[in-house]
Structure 1
Amino acid sequence: MHSQKVISELDHKGQSNMLTKAAEDYLAALADELSISEARYDQASRSYASLGAWLHRPESTVLAYDPQVYVQGSFRLGTAIRPMNDEEEYDVDSICVLGNLGTGDLTQKQLKTLVGAEIKAYHRSQNMVKPVREGHRCWVLSYADGAQFHMDIVPAVPNAARQRLMLEASGFNLGWSDTALVITDNRSPVYEHISDDWQRSNPKGYAEWFQLRMGTIFEQRRRALAESIKASVEDIPVYRIRTPLQSAIMILKRHRDGMFVDRYDERPISIIITTLAAHAYNGEEKIADALYSVLSRMDQFIERDGHRCIIRNPSDPLENFADKWPQHPERERAFFEWLAQARHDFGELGRQVERRRFVASVQPRMGAVADRAAARLGPPPGSMLRPAAAAGVAATPASSALTFPNTRREPTSPKGFA
């Protein structure tokens, strides 16, 4: 077994009776402290909308190819978190799809060059100071220092027809194939050749799957917000709604960041944490319940093919998010090491009733955000700064049963593949 120093078993159905009310409040405060402002989301939205408008101007060299620019990744899913410090930037991942082109029309290099020329022209038109950078898959637009973010733009073309054929041949559901794409990657052996063998992607399909996993609570909160501001439900973007699943993922991502600050290349990637958490989420309505349910069950959704771990992309089950683990076994070990540590830290937190012990449980991995979350709760019960009548945080002893599985379970069939 991997380095899973895990503790016994959690019955997630009864966990709300095991957690102290104070622990629930503290976890909610952690999520609030990690969340980024609507202004940041709006800033990102305006940025890729502005680029999209540029690509649709009459002089655009890609206008005839039906360019579409939209956000992907954590900003699309509503799971983006604040950087750990003021020096770090928000990474806004976006896609630039040329809808009237396909893999038979041009090479990856030609597509990337075509899109890159327009991005560089946009950069000049906006008088942006920092140069456009080229990544393996994307072009990077870095905004002014005060903006504290950069945008990665990945060139892509549609791949729906070929994706349907591949999924049918393998017996998988065709559910999200209509939004399938292929993207550029200059590490590809066929980067400079006409070929169908491009890196696949499906950010829209993944976002639709993730929204389904958030369950009815997402739709309820979205409708309530729409009614409160007299808007249509469709006008409310995902990032304006925060569900317990999104909050749990944000907390786990920051715990991961703090744990691997000196081992960045080994850290479990966000898409793995997000996918396993979404599978494990069972409709819990409180952040604490969602977090403990996810921690208890997320490794059940790792399939095994002999000694190989498989974490399927729900929107493209032919893609394995853990495909790098065989070449980098330290990453597989790091995932289970992180999961064990998260189970330990949040297991300890859930048993506490004193605020200083909440902070001590997670501060080694969560950093300064642990203190800031405690400060959000106001003066602790019994403090001279807090009236006695207001000191109403429950202090019931926590159950010692708040524990997690100590054996690897056989994976169940993840929802959304068959």
Structure 2
Amino acid sequence: MTDLKKEQFADILETLSENLSITETQHNAAVRSYNAVGNWLSKDDSLLKPFNPEIKPQGSFIIGTTVQPVNPEDDLDLDIVCELHGKKLHWTQEDVKNVVGEQLRSHMTYESLLDKEGRRCWTLKYRSDSDRNDKYHMDILPSVISQGYQILLEKSFSNLQKDDYESLKLSITDKESSNYSSETDPSRWYQSNPFGYAKWFMSRVQMYKGAVLKAFSLNEAVKPTPRYQENRLPLQRAVQLLKRHRDIMFTAESNEDIRKQKPISCIITTLAARAYQGEVNLSDAIFGVISRMESEIEWKEDHYGNRYEWISNPVNKAENFADRWNDSGSVRRDNFYRWLRQIREDLDIARSQNGMHNIAESLKKSFGNKVVVDTFTQIGDRSRTSTADQSNYYSKKEGIIGTASAASALISKVPAHTFHGKSTD
């Protein structure tokens, strides 16, 4: 592949991932909604008021890897942590979970949006309210944090290379914990570390070897009212593309049981981050990642000599993200490897195509018709603008148009065009 064609394909992938990102409107609607929830949980007559409940986003929302749903009518997933600065001494996990649920139910709107209680979270299904246009559901995870946690978090996020993940753990509610209804000491509750994971992931993102003018900020992402961050670095873009390909592939799966066991995002994100080697060009980044992801899976052996895959949580080595791959009747393992083979094949085919039309057609099956059409429309608009100011070059061999910076010996300058049928030369 020539440098020109590689740059062109990277530009296509970059524009595609931009179109997969949530919009500023979606971002602002989500922030308004979770801030409103936080205000309600901390209102003066709330049992939670003495513990200053704070609402923070977690997961893909704060690491910049959220993607639009395949079906525009489907919900975005918004994962939220409700942090309590302490609790009543006699409260167990169950008590904390119930108090949060009761406070949500005391709000007329939230009561109508509240789904049945989950294992760890309360879920507000905004789409169930016909008077609203929000297209997401909000999973609210109750947690208890130690004194000074917020200051610790800000300092930690300011130095992504410092390995202090352990200090960012949260004590959360988990109905499947054996001490759910009995233990009052939060340090003995189930420990989760969403912000430690976010820090680890962003440390991998910043392996990027190019000049960073304005990178995605974790500290900004967890502010009470974070601004919309449009910029993404190659690893973030690559993860978005991987997740979208996964979604398209398994949406098309006719067997519901197989469809529900698609590769989970934390496995895709973790393996991609471990496989990333700081590539600047998005095409190099995603092809490098998918070629190395499988080698990032560990193999372990049980007491009977049976070997099994282990994908450790980078901030909790004892947790295996692939722990359900060997469940009886599970197809999760097969689905992961089948998906990985498929995305390698699909991207290889796409980048081998000559001509923008052929590249577009090859990408539609993998990433969705509308988003690919929008992507190539935007690229076409940019190309016409560049042609008008004579900064485009055309490759006779490969049938592609690129910018002057990627020109090589095979390319000819494209004359400026009036778009009325005549060139200006």
* Structure 1 residues 20 and 211: alpha-carbon distance in aligned structure 2, compared to 1, 3 A threshold: closer
Q: Does 1:321 align with 2:321?
A: yes
Deviations 1:71-128 (A, max 9, x none): 01111111111111222011110011223149x853332221011112222x32x577
**In 2 relative to 1, CA 130–158 (structure 1 residues): closer, same or farther, beyond 3 Å?**
closer
Residue 319 of structure 1 and its aligned partner are, at CA, apart by 1.4
Matched, 1:295 2:290: yes
* 1:156 Cα deviation from its structure 2 partner: 1.8
Check the 8 A contact 1:75/1:239 in 2, yes or no.
no
- In the TM superposition, 1:80-229 aligns within 5 A as 80-101=66-87, 105-121=90-106, 123-124=107-108, 129-143=112-126, 144=129, 145-158=132-145, 175-194=164-183, 198-215=189-206, 221=212, 223=214
Aligned runs of 1:36-47 on 2, under 5 Å?
36-47=22-33
Q: 2:69 aligned with 1:67, yes or no?
A: no
Measured at CA, do residues 395 and 336 of structure 1 come closer, stay the same or move farther in structure 2, by a change above 3 Å? farther
Is the contact made by 1:76 and 1:238 (CA closer than 8 Å) also made in structure 2? Answer: no
* Structure-1 separation of matches of 2:202 and 2:260: 29
Alpha-carbon deviation of 1:378? 1.6
- Compared CA separation, residues 29 and 58, structure 1 to 2 (3 A): same
Separation of aligned partners in 2, 1:395 and 1:152: 53
Kindly provide the amino acid, as one letter, of the partner of residue 374 in structure 1. F
The one-letter amino acid of 2:284's match is D
What's 1:25 paired with? 11
The Cα of 1:334 is off from its aligned counterpart by: 0.8
Report how far residue 247 of structure 1 moved: 0.9
User: 2:411 corresponds to which residue?
Assistant: none
Q: Specify the SS of the correspondent of 2:96.
A: helix
Cα distance between partner residues in 1 of 2:82 and 2:326: 31
Distance (whole Å) between structure 2 residues aligned to residue 44 and residue 247 of structure 1:
21
Change (3 A) 1:282 1:318: same
Deviates more, 1:359-368 or 1:92-101: 359-368
Q: Aligned-pair distance for 1:31?
A: 0.8
- Please tell me the residue identity of whatever aligns with 2:359: F
The higher relative CO (CA closer than 8 Å, separation ≥ 6) is in 1
Render the CA deviation track for 1:344-389: whole Å, top value 9, x for unaligned.
Answer: 11111122222232233332232222333222222798x9xx8796
CA deviations over 1:315-353 (Å, ceiling 9, x no partner):
222211111112154101111111111111111112222
Deviation at 1:274, TM superposition (A): 0.7
Q: Does 1:247 align with 2:237?
A: yes
* Partners of 2:43 and 2:49 within 8 A in 1: yes
For residue 132 of structure 1, report the CA deviation from its aligned partner: 4.5
C-alpha change, 1:211 and 1:127, in structure 2 (3 Å) is closer
Q: Return the letter of the residue paired with 1:186.
A: K
Amino acid at match of 1:120: R
Q: How does 1:255-266 map to 2 (within 5 A)?
A: 255-261=245-251, 262=253, 263-266=258-261
Match of 1:53 among 34, 39, 42: 39
Counterpart CA distance in 2 for 1:284 and 1:147 is 36
Distance 1:219 1:97 in 2: 36
Give the deviation of 1:67 after TM superposition: 2.0
Cα distance change on mapping 1:222 and 1:61 into 2, 3 Å: farther
Name the CA distance, whole Å, in 1 between partners of 2:248 and 2:103: 38
Gaps of 5+ in 2: 148-161, 302-306, 400-425
What CA distance in whole angstroms lies between the structure 2 residues aligned with 1:289 and 1:210? 19
Q: Which amino acid aligns with 1:254?
A: R
For residue 87 of structure 1, give the secondary structure of its aligned residue in structure 2. Answer: coil
Q: Quick one: structure 1 residues 218 and 137, their matched pair in 2 at CA, closer, same or farther if it must change by over 3 Å?
A: farther
Contact 1:101 1:157 in 2 (8 A): yes
- Mapped to 1, the partners of 2:173 and 2:2 lie a distance apart of 46
Superposed CA offset, 1:227-278 (max 9, x none): xxxx9xx997684431111111111101000111133322100111111111
Amino acid in the other structure paired with 2:246: R
- In the alignment, residue 118 of structure 1 is paired with which amino acid? Q
How high is the sequence identity, in percent, across the aligned residues? 34
2:349 matched to 1:366? no
Residue type matched to 2:267 in 1?
A: I
Residue 286 of structure 1 pairs with residue 281 of structure 2: yes
Residue 409 of structure 2 is matched in structure 1 by none
Structure 2 residue corresponding to 1:304, chosen from 291, 299, 304: 299
8 Å contact kept, 1:177–1:315: yes
8 Å CA contact 2:42–2:53 kept in 1: the answer is yes
The one of 362, 377, 395 equivalent to 2:379 is: 377
Structure 1 window deviating more from structure 2 (130-139 vs 75-84): it is 130-139
Deviations 1:51-81 (Å, cap 9, x if unpaired)? 2233333222112234221101111111111
* TM-score, normalised relative to structure 1: 0.76
What is the CA RMSD across the aligned residues, in angstroms? Answer: 3.4
Conservation of the 8 A alpha-carbon contact between 2:216 and 2:232: no
Distance (whole Å) between structure 2 residues aligned to residue 276 and residue 185 of structure 1:
26
Are the structure 2 counterparts of residues 114 and 360 from structure 1 closer, same or farther at C-alpha, using a change threshold of 3 Å?
A: same
